[in-house]
Amino acid sequence: MATAEPGLQAGDGLPTITRDVLQNTAAKIGIRVSEHLEEEFIETLAAARDAMEKVLQMDDFYPIPDTNRYPRIDIQAVSPDENPMNAWATKVTVKDIQPDEASLKILAGKRIVIKDNVCLAGVPCYLGTDVFSDWLPKTDATVVTRILEAGGTLIGKATCESFSAFGISNTSFLGPIGNPYDKTRSAGGSSSGCGVLIALGEADLAIGGDQGGSIRLPAAHCGIVGLKPTFGLVPYTGIVSNEISHDHTGPMSVDVLSNALLLRAIAGVDGIDDRQIAGTPFPAQVPDYPTLLTAARTARSLLSIGIPSNATGREPGSTRKMRVGILKEGLEIEHMDPHVRDTVETAARKFKELGAEVVEVSVPGHIQASLIGRVQRVSQSNNLLGRANGTRQLYLTEFIEKVLPWTQEKFDKLFCNSANILISGLYADEHYPQLYGKTQNLFRKLRQEYDAVLADVDVLVMPTTPWVAKVMQPRNASIRDHYKDYNGLAESIQWN
C-alpha cells in the first residue's frame, strides 16, 4: 500500500509544501536533504513561506509626494506631429502652485525634463519598453522632489533606451531617436531623449542616468553638457536601477553653468539611498557650484599664475600652474576615429595657450576597463529577475511586479541587448558565481591607478566616444548588426 507523502497543507490556494517541493528546491544548488530530516525541513520551509506570504500582503512603504502643492497637470502622450524625433515619452506640467515662493528659488523659470526611468507619481513610466505598458509609479524620485522644491518646472519625461541598456538611440519601442544634427544618426543613449530635447531647445535642463555612459554619450553626440557625478553625490532614490553599484543620475544642460546650477539643486544625502557614502554632503552643505564656477571663470590668472598647491595635497603655501593630463590610453581605444583623436588632442593643448601645463599621462589599466565593465554589466540581470539586494534603499517593488514573471511573450519584446544581458546573467550566476565580486575588486584597483595619476594632474582629458555619431540600424536588426561598427543604411529605419 502506498503511503501518503509528508507535507503541510497550505491555505489560501497556495501549493502544499511536499517532499518533492523541498527536494526540488534543494536540488537547485545540487544538494539533497537527508530522508530522516525531510519532515522537519518541510515544516520549517512551510513556516518560512507563511511568513513571506504575510509580508507580501502588507502595504508597501514609499515616500508620499506632495501632489497638492505640486499637482500633475495635463498628462498626455505626444502625437507624432509634436514629436518628430521621438524624444518625448510623456508631457506633463508639474510645478509649485505657490508661485511667489517658487520665484525666489534657484531653478525658478527653468523647464526641466527627466529621463523615463525616473519615477514621477501618477505619470506613466515606460522605460523604453513595451514589456509592460501600465506602470504608474506611486512615488517621486528624490531628484524630482528637489527640483520642485528649488522652483523648477517639470515639463515631461524624455524617451530613454529599452531598459536603459544601450548606447545607441534606436532601441525604444517609441521609435528611434535621431541626432538633432542628422536624423539618421544616433543621438547616443540611454538618456537619448534628454540629449535631443536640450539640444533642440525644448527644455532648459534634464535629469539623465548613467551607468556605462548614458549621460555622457548623448551629451557628446548632441553637443550639450552632461555630468556623471561622483558616485553617491546625487541620490538615486526612486529611479529604476540597472546595477546598484553603478547607478548614477545627473544633470544635462546646454552649458556648464546651467549644469552646475542643477547639480547644486539635486545633490546631497537624502537619508534613504545608502549608496551615498561617507563624505557626501547634506543638502545644506552642498557647495555653491555656480558661484565657484563663476569665480573660477573670472579669475583669469588661475591657469597662468597658478592655483594653491595645498588644494591638491602638494607643498602647502606655494602656487603652481594648473596641470592638464592627456590620458595616453584614452586615445588608444580600438576603432578610434583618427579625426576624433586629433580633435581632442588639439582642444586639450589649447589649455597650454591659456597658461596651463599640459602633459601626457598613463593609466595602463584603462584599456581593460571596458572589458571589466562589460562583464560586470551582466549583473543587471539581477534587477530584471527581482534579485537586487544588499543595500538599504528604496526598492521599486511595483516595477518588479510589472516585469515578473518572465514569459516568452515578454522576452520576445525585449530589445536584443537587454535579452542578451538577461541570458548572460543567468549563465554567469550558474558558471561564474565569483565573477561579480572579482570585477568589483578590479575596479577598486583601477580607481587606485586613476587616483595615483590625479595626484599629479588636476584633470584628465580623453574622448567621450572614440567615434562620431553613427548611422543607426533598424530596431529589429540582428544582434550582430547592432553590435558591429554602425554603418547601416539610413533608409532602413522606420520613422513614426
Catalytic residue ranges: 115, 190, 214
- Cis peptide bond upstream of 405, omega within 30: yes
d(CA 62, CA 70): 17
Q: How many CA atoms lie within 13 A of 401 on its CB side?
A: 10
Do residues 130 and 410 touch, judged by C-beta distance below 8 A?
Answer: no
Q: 251 pairs with which residues across the strands?
A: 207
Distances from the Cα of 62 to the Cα of 301, 386, 393, angstroms: 50, 18, 11
- Cis peptide bond upstream of 192, omega within 30: no
Fill in the DSSP letter of residue 311.
Answer: G
Fill in the DSSP letter of residue 309.
Answer: G
Torsion of CA 416, 421, 422, 423, to 10 degrees: 90
**Nearest one of 223, 214, 258, 256 to 118, comparing CA atoms:** 214
**Nearest one of 77, 94, 165, 98 to 129, comparing CA atoms:** 165
- Cell numbers given for 229: 557625478
Distances from the Cα of 160 to the Cα of 88, 132, 284, angstroms: 9, 15, 31
d(CA 429, CA 282): 37
d(CA 191, CA 117): 9
d(CA 265, CA 149): 9
- Cell numbers given for 135: 506602470
Question: Within 10 A of 463 (CB to CB), how many other CB atoms are there?
Answer: 19
Burial (0-12, 13-18, 19+ Cβ within 10 Å), 353: exposed
d(CA 319, CA 315): 9
- Stretch (H or E) spanning 93: strand 88-94
| DSSP SS3 for 476 | coil
- Cell numbers given for 8: 503541510
Question: Within 10 A of 81 (CB to CB), how many other CB atoms are there?
Answer: 6
Q: What are phi and psi of 147, to 5 degrees?
A: -65, -45
